[in-house]
Each structure stands twice: as structure tokens, then as C-alpha cells.
Structure 1
Amino acid sequence: MDIGGSLPVLYLSLLLVLLSAAAFFIVRQAIQTRKIEGTLSRLEGKLAKEKGTAQEYYELGGIYLQKKLFSQAVKQFERALKAPTLETVESAPIYNALGFAYFAQEQYDIAIRQYKEALKIKPEYVTALNNLGHAYERKQLIPSAIETYEQVLNLEPQNGVAKRRLEALQKRLVPSS
């Protein structure tokens, strides 16, 4: 077999595989974006005309978070919390998302309050605990952050986020020799 003749075929095959993979991911992303935009359009249209459910406001707020439209997300999450259809148990993820929106705007004190509200409703809500720990870190409340990450690891010993952040904080506290 002639290696000189098969080398271009090998390169072309490899290029074809790479281009096919890239095309797959591009098409998948386009479909996902189109779906999100369709949901956004539908929800904005519906909620402009009539009152929605807590779930609809929460979903719209989540889309605004993805688009990094944080102040708009805050408005939707607040509407979700005021919706008459909201059950108390369902409000924990909304408070967590509201905290995340404030955190993204560097309003850490408000974010901390929202995460704590989520945890009042659902004390073992690991995502809210991780987010609370991160907000404490940003506020330089290191002992509170450490305690919060330890709570996460008590609930979920294999939680990678809490493990990494806790180790990093503990390294910062130990003076280097």
C-alpha cells in the first residue's frame, strides 16, 4: 500500500469528521436557541396580555438570566413570588434564582437574603447553600463561607463545587511557611 497516496485520504477523512462534528454542534445550538427564543416570545406575549402563573414568570425570569438581562429577571421572579398560584414549597427555587440575579449584579447583601429565604423553605437545598457560600466569599465573610460549604458537604459529600471552594478557602486561611 502506498503511504503517500493514503495520507491525503486520511487528512480529508479527518477533516470531514471534524467538519461534521462542528456542523452537528452548530445545528444543535441553533435549534436550542430557536426553542428558547420561541418560548421567550410566547411568554412575553402572554404575560403582556394577562396574568400568568408562578411557573410562567419563573420560566421567563430564567430565560432573562440566560440572556444576562438581570434586572428583567428580577422583575419576573418577584412576580412569580406574588402569583396566587404559587405554593410555598415551589418558592425556594424562585428565591434562589432571585438571589442569583442579584449576585450577578454584585448586590451580594440582597443575594444573601434571597438565598436565606430559599433555605428557610427548603433547609437542605444544596444549590442555594452553594450559592450562599459563594456570596459570602464575595463579601469576604470567609468563616461563614466555610461553614456553608461544610453544610453542603454534610448533605452531599461528593459535591465538587463545595469541595473545591472549601479547599481554596482553607488554603487561604493557612499561612504559607
Structure 2
Amino acid sequence: MNELLPLIYLSVLLVILAGSAVFIFRQVFQTRKTETNLSQLQKKLKQEQGTPLEYYQLGSIYLDKKLFVQAAKLFQKALKSGKKEEPENLALIHNALGYAYFAQEQYDMAIREYKEAVKNKADYITALNNLANAYERKKLTAQALEIYEQTLTYAPNNSVAKRRAESLRKRLVTSN
């Protein structure tokens, strides 16, 4: 048994190293892919007018990099591009623009964009949760609760909406 102990330790170490190598490789590959997309989209959009999808994709990369001002400008260009978009796509763009404003603590503008997203797609759960969260940040508890409850009509098992609605109900009861 004592002869097997070093072999077991070595095997465990190799498994851990192999797992770490796979994780690092995936991260490097994902980063290279993102950087390539970033470079290609930037180059294309400098040379010509892009599609709403291209502006949205580049804006999303900027959001991931926490470049919120630049992301917001790209989402605005996507909305102003003049090309007709499906309501679902418009909802995505408005929600992303709302997130960019929210991250900059521009809650009124974020609320406006989240409302536009929901107007384009009434059952857009992410936008509804984002809207309720923005209301919470503005200390508009009743409005936030109303939106979380609306979210639960579309997605009864939504854990975020359940948890936040319950918390807000308690807060409203204790404040009255």
C-alpha cells in the first residue's frame, strides 16, 4: 500500500494539472475569439455603416469589457441605423442600452430603455428584472414590486423575481 501512495498522489496531481490546462486553454481561446470579433467589427464599422446586429455585437463586447459609455453609443447607433428590426431584436438592443446606463448609475435613462425593451417584447424576463432592479435603485419600491410580480406571471419560477418580490413585500408591510 505504501508503494501506491506516491503513484496516487502523482495521478491526482496530473488530473489537476490537466484540468487546469484545459481551463486555461478555453479561456485563451475565448479571449482570442472575442478580440478577433472586436477587431473585425471595429474595422468594418469605421469603414462603412453597419447593421443593427453588428452595432449590438460590438456594444456587447464593450459591455463585457466594462466600457459602458462606448457601449451605449453603439447601442444608440444600432437603434438609429434606419434599418427595420424585429421587435425581439429591438428589445435586446434597448435592454443592453438600459444596462449600459444602469452601470453608469443613470437610472432614469435605464428605466426608459428597459420599458422600451418590454414594450417590444412583453415577456422579456431579463428586461423585466432589470427594470424592477432599476426601480429599486431609485427607491421606488411599489413600482419595483409591481414589475417583479409581472415577471412572475410570465415566469412563475423565476428565482430573482420571487426573492426580490418577497423582500419588497416585507419592506412595504413594515413601512406601513
- Which category of TM-score, normalised to the shorter sequence, fits these structures? over 0.9
Unaligned residue ranges in structure 1 (runs of 5+):
none
**C-alpha RMSD of matched pairs (Å):** 1.3
Q: Is the 8 A contact 1:53 1:86 kept in 2?
A: no
- Superposed, which structure 2 residues align to 1:35-114 within 5 Å? 35-89=33-87, 90-114=89-113
Give the Å deviation of 1:162. 1.2
Report the equivalent of 2:151.
Answer: 152
Q: Distance in 1 between the 2:171 and 2:82 partners? A: 46
Q: Is the 8 A contact 1:99 1:110 kept in 2?
A: yes
- Superposed, which structure 2 residues align to 1:133-148 within 5 Å? 133-148=132-147
Give the Å deviation of 1:125. 1.4
Going from structure 1 to structure 2, the CA distance change for 1:47 and 1:17 (only over 3 Å counts) comes to same
TM-score, L = length of structure 2: 0.93
TM-score, L = length of structure 1: 0.93
Q: Distance in 2 between the 1:33 and 1:174 partners? A: 48
Unaligned residue ranges in structure 2 (runs of 5+):
none
Report the equivalent of 2:168.
Answer: 169
Q: Percent identity?
A: 60
Going from structure 1 to structure 2, the CA distance change for 1:171 and 1:26 (only over 3 Å counts) comes to farther
Q: Is the 8 A contact 1:80 1:86 kept in 2?
A: no
Going from structure 1 to structure 2, the CA distance change for 1:173 and 1:16 (only over 3 Å counts) comes to farther
SS in 1 for 2:2: helix
| Amino acid across the alignment from 2:106 | Q
Give the Å deviation of 1:166. 1.9
Q: Distance in 2 between the 1:107 and 1:44 partners? A: 26
Give the Å deviation of 1:85. 2.0
Give the Å deviation of 1:170. 3.1
Deviation track 1:115-174 (CA, whole Å, cap 9, x = no partner) reads: 011112222211110100111111111111111111111101111221222233334445
Match of 1:26 among 12, 24, 40: 24
| Amino acid across the alignment from 2:22 | F
Give the Å deviation of 1:87. 1.7
Q: Distance in 2 between the 1:146 and 1:24 partners? A: 44
Q: Distance in 1 between the 2:4 and 2:165 partners? A: 53
Deviation track 1:32-82 (CA, whole Å, cap 9, x = no partner) reads: 110000000000000001100010001000000000000000000000001
Q: Distance in 2 between the 1:121 and 1:163 partners? A: 24
SS in 1 for 2:83: coil
